[in-house]
Structure 1
Amino acid sequence: MSTGEVTRESGGGRWVVPLCWAAVLLDGFDLVVLGTVLPVLLQNKVWGLDPDSAAMLSTVGLIGMAIGALTIGTVTDVIGRRKALLLAVIDFSLCTLLCAFAPSAFVFGLLRFLAGLGLGGCLPTAIALVTEYARTGRRGSATTTIMTGYHVGAVLTALLGIVVMTPFGWRAMFVIGAAPALVLVPLMLRHLPESGSFLAAARSRRSLRDALGAIASLFQHGLMRPTLAFWVTSFMGLLLVYGLNTWLPAIMRQAGYELGAALSMLLTLNVGAVIGLLLAGVVADRFGVRPSVIGWFAASAVFLALLSVRLPGAFVYAAVLIAGCFVFSAQVLVYAYVGRVYPDGNRATGLGWTAGVGRLGAICGPILGGALLSAGVAYPWGFYAFAIVGALGAIAVTAVGRARPRSESAATGLPAPVEG
């Protein structure tokens, strides 16, 4: 049995969560690093950047993520989830390192786009692997546990921004962000097991045509409405995640806070995200993922609207912390819900397309924030706009419905999923 064919039964499954968690942590670094360095780039007018051109730099990276996420499901069905995750980590780590040496905004944007291809594929592949290896009844908490890595990475990046940028400059952030791959990639090569469902399909000589059929299956046998509802909800969720992480420091600067305080709020937002993820997984396993994701989006809308009020002292940090608890874990619960609806045979495809369409929202978030910032109205109107997006996410996810999709085993050759 090769390293890539290690199974749960042979003990290889114990490596899935820590290795996928570490890969998602590096993905989380990228979530925050641009938002961390943007105030410095804008303040020093590096490459002549203004809010509009800075938003464009964010957008090209997100376009790469969208392409990576949309294609990853089909790619993993052909080459395997293990190899796809390895390639994703190598790609975004190398390109992130090269960002530190970019001589111009054009080269920096190109590298962000190329890194985005790997970043877009990392998250859905990691979630699909972890979901497959999770114990029955623990898939909600398994997904949210993996996503704590995303926000631990974001928290560490915000801390690094406070500690590193003043003495070493913004370029050092990208060198530090790429360095962990030197350890992670060899560990993944040695210990990360392949998906059991992929190995079973490979023994049946699954082809690219079969993989493309998995995309079509997202719209068949009762899955069309859940698929479209997931896409809309993911669009709203990732608009919030990337809009806030890209522009929260700049918005708070416009509100009159010092740079250090604004970066501390970004840190607080992502600490709240980790707390929210730990809580969301328990709530989803106890009460069901569907009511949990609806409630989380609704609470996001409420607390984002509250941030439009200028609160004194520690109260603003408390409001940011609570908003982070709900905003980020709301999107993660969407992924957990997808994992409940789609069976093993097309779960990676379902997750990939949900994340990929959601990346269109991730593109719109920084554009929306940049436009409001350029107009001088990001505070408080940016928070009103984000609150409306959260409310729309809560409405959209209700359309997934409660009914189990019909005849799924005919579409995938696997049993119908357990309803969440």
Structure 2
Amino acid sequence: MSTPLDIASLIDRERIRPFQWTIFLLCFATTLFDGFDTQAIAYTGPAIVAAFNLAPGDLAPILIAGTLGMTIGAMTLGLVGDRVGRRPALLGGVALFSIASLATAFASGTSQILVLRFIAGLGMGGCTPVLLALAAEYGPARHRGAIMTGVLLGLPAGAMLGGLLAARMMPVIGWEGVFVIGGAAPLALLVLLWFALPESLHFLVTRAGNDQHAVRHVLARIVTWPLADDARFAVHEAAARASVAALFREGNARNTVAIWAVYFFNWIAWFMFLSWLPTVLKASGLPAAQAPLGTVVVNAVFIVCAIPLSIALPRISTRRLLIALLALGIAIAIGLAYAETSWGLVFTLAGAAGLGIGGQQIALNYLVVGAYPTTLRATATGWAIGMGRVGAIAGSAVGGTFLNMGGPGGFYLTLAVPLAAALLAVIAIRTNEPEAGTSLATAAH
């Protein structure tokens, strides 16, 4: 019997084929609608507050429910994908957030919206790790970082698209219409995914009864040279994950505590800012129809900055970059607090926040690469992101409280506090910067 051919090596030696581009585009389209639905509650928030006669702070439980659902979904749907396949896990996640978003349009009370946002969050949070794993698996290693970055850009692009739609169409279709679109469009995508999305090759070999026929059928659309009739295919099993305890041994404890703090506090600021920005702008006096444009500006700048950041990060000091970004974020928060109703300045600073508060989302994972040995990076990244998600829940929860207590100015000033805490944590980190050319994708796989 011939020696099994390594699937990853077969993919790495080929150029990206149309079949693979189709997979990447389907993954991007999924994150696009995911981003749309994730931010839907932010840019419809002011209208929901008005429709149900709520105080701005009363929106907090709904925001928390969605973020909590995303956290649980991200932690569980990946495990489901490992057991039953990434294709059915992704289809299930899309169906979940599509149906829940569509049902939100017909909710008759805030309690129903809260439950539906939690359910939608399960699907939205769960889709991202599954589709990233699928896209990375079908991409050559030399392009994996760019593929993953490109797919993830669908999240801010969807949020920006939703903000534009809300600003232009919500006066006509109402907040309910936004959720109709946010549910119906991904349901249409679900049909395409059903017919065009392949299963994970890794799953087919290791979990699906070692289905060599299915693997050969897929690889025939990627590999240009003929595969022998008796060829068999295999994958290299990744080394077992290091224990969490190892993150606190052999001199790693200081970096672990500091990195967890950076994720936690930066995600507090980022999600507090994103989730509450349209409501804060409306409270500042901006017409409700224009408030979603704040989300558009923030995400547009984030997208523009993400590509050069992802190219530059493997070549520069991530720690110094994060210090600069966090210092910029603090300055932006203070500037917004005193901008009041100078809308040109407000929108300029809000756009800059896409870099000064959101840019860290691109850089943070690279920080782990320089702070831990290779064997610990996957575990360290997973737990750091988990701490970030806890911060996201906290940020979504407290934004309304600070808006009620201190008004828009107090809200913006509050953002500087977690950013300052994150800055101090970055300063405390001791890293061995990765060699030039090391990418997050390389480190994580």
TM-score by length of 1: 0.80
Question: What amino acid is the match of 2:72?
Answer: I
Shift of the 417–167 alpha-carbon distance from structure 1 to 2, 3 Å rule, reads closer
Q: Which residue does the alignment assign to 2:218?
A: none
Please give the per-residue CA displacement for 1:213-265, whole angstroms capped at 9, x wherever unaligned.
Answer: 96763543789756665543333333233211221122223333333443322
Q: Which residue does the alignment assign to 2:130?
A: 125
User: Secondary structure of 1:180's partner?
Assistant: helix
Structure 1 contact 52–371 (Cα < 8 Å) conserved: yes
Q: Which of 263, 266, 280 is 1:251 aligned to?
A: 280
State the alpha-carbon separation in 2 of the partners of residues 227 and 81 from structure 1: 31
Q: Identify the range of structure 1 (184-193 vs 173-182) with the bigger mean alpha-carbon deviation.
A: 184-193
1:38 partnered with 2:50? no
Q: Which residue does the alignment assign to 1:310?
A: 339
Shift of the 354–221 alpha-carbon distance from structure 1 to 2, 3 Å rule, reads closer
User: Structure 1 residue 113: deviation in Å?
Assistant: 0.9
Please give the per-residue CA displacement for 1:109-145, whole angstroms capped at 9, x wherever unaligned.
Answer: 1111111111121223333334445554655544432
State the alpha-carbon separation in 2 of the partners of residues 76 and 351 from structure 1: 19
Q: Which residue does the alignment assign to 1:208?
A: none
Shift of the 127–287 alpha-carbon distance from structure 1 to 2, 3 Å rule, reads farther
Structure 1 contact 128–339 (Cα < 8 Å) conserved: no
Q: Which runs of 5+ in 2 are unaligned?
A: 1-6, 211-236, 435-440
1:371 partnered with 2:401? yes
1:28 partnered with 2:29? no
User: Structure 1 residue 56: deviation in Å?
Assistant: 0.9
User: Secondary structure of 1:278's partner?
Assistant: helix
Question: What amino acid is the match of 1:101?
Answer: F
Shift of the 343–124 alpha-carbon distance from structure 1 to 2, 3 Å rule, reads farther
State the alpha-carbon separation in 1 of the partners of residues 112 and 180 from structure 2: 16
State the alpha-carbon separation in 1 of the partners of residues 72 and 382 from structure 2: 10
State the alpha-carbon separation in 2 of the partners of residues 236 and 280 from structure 1: 21
State the alpha-carbon separation in 1 of the partners of residues 317 and 78 from structure 2: 26
User: Structure 1 residue 318: deviation in Å?
Assistant: 1.8
State the alpha-carbon separation in 1 of the partners of residues 100 and 289 from structure 2: 28
Q: Which of 94, 97, 100 is 1:89 aligned to?
A: 94
Q: Which residue does the alignment assign to 1:321?
A: 351
Question: What amino acid is the match of 1:161?
Answer: A
Shift of the 92–231 alpha-carbon distance from structure 1 to 2, 3 Å rule, reads farther
Structure 2 contact 136–144 (Cα < 8 Å) conserved: yes
User: Secondary structure of 2:291's partner?
Assistant: helix
Q: Identify the range of structure 1 (114-123 vs 183-192) with the bigger mean alpha-carbon deviation.
A: 183-192
User: Structure 1 residue 201: deviation in Å?
Assistant: 4.3
User: Structure 1 residue 162: deviation in Å?
Assistant: 1.2
Please give the per-residue CA displacement for 1:76-129, whole angstroms capped at 9, x wherever unaligned.
Answer: 332333332222111111111111111221111111111111112122333333
Question: What amino acid is the match of 1:367?
Answer: A
Q: Which of 159, 163, 168 is 1:154 aligned to?
A: 159
Q: Which of 306, 326, 330 is 1:277 aligned to?
A: 306
User: Structure 1 residue 276: deviation in Å?
Assistant: 1.9
Alignment of 1:396-411 (within 5 A): 396-397=425-426, 401-403=430-432
Q: Identify the range of structure 1 (356-365 vs 219-228) with the bigger mean alpha-carbon deviation.
A: 219-228
Shift of the 37–313 alpha-carbon distance from structure 1 to 2, 3 Å rule, reads closer
State the alpha-carbon separation in 1 of the partners of residues 269 and 392 from structure 2: 8
User: Secondary structure of 1:308's partner?
Assistant: helix
Bigger Rg over Cα: 2
User: Structure 1 residue 350: deviation in Å?
Assistant: 6.5
User: Structure 1 residue 417: deviation in Å?
Assistant: 5.7
Structure 1 contact 57–109 (Cα < 8 Å) conserved: yes
1:217 partnered with 2:243? yes
TM-score by length of 2: 0.76
Question: What amino acid is the match of 1:175?
Answer: V
Structure 2 contact 27–151 (Cα < 8 Å) conserved: yes
Q: Which residue does the alignment assign to 2:74?
A: 69
Q: Which runs of 5+ in 1 are unaligned?
A: 206-210, 406-415
User: Structure 1 residue 273: deviation in Å?
Assistant: 1.6
Identity %: 30
Q: Identify the range of structure 1 (22-31 vs 254-263) with the bigger mean alpha-carbon deviation.
A: 254-263
Alignment of 1:90-105 (within 5 A): 90-105=95-110
Q: Identify the range of structure 1 (133-142 vs 260-269) with the bigger mean alpha-carbon deviation.
A: 133-142
State the alpha-carbon separation in 1 of the partners of residues 402 and 149 from structure 2: 32
Structure of higher RCO (CA pairs closer than 8 Å, 6+ residues apart): 1
User: Structure 1 residue 308: deviation in Å?
Assistant: 1.7
Q: Identify the range of structure 1 (288-297 vs 261-270) with the bigger mean alpha-carbon deviation.
A: 288-297
State the alpha-carbon separation in 1 of the partners of residues 312 and 196 from structure 2: 31
State the alpha-carbon separation in 2 of the partners of residues 184 and 342 from structure 1: 40
State the alpha-carbon separation in 2 of the partners of residues 105 and 346 from structure 1: 41
Shift of the 303–145 alpha-carbon distance from structure 1 to 2, 3 Å rule, reads farther
Structure 1 contact 141–285 (Cα < 8 Å) conserved: no
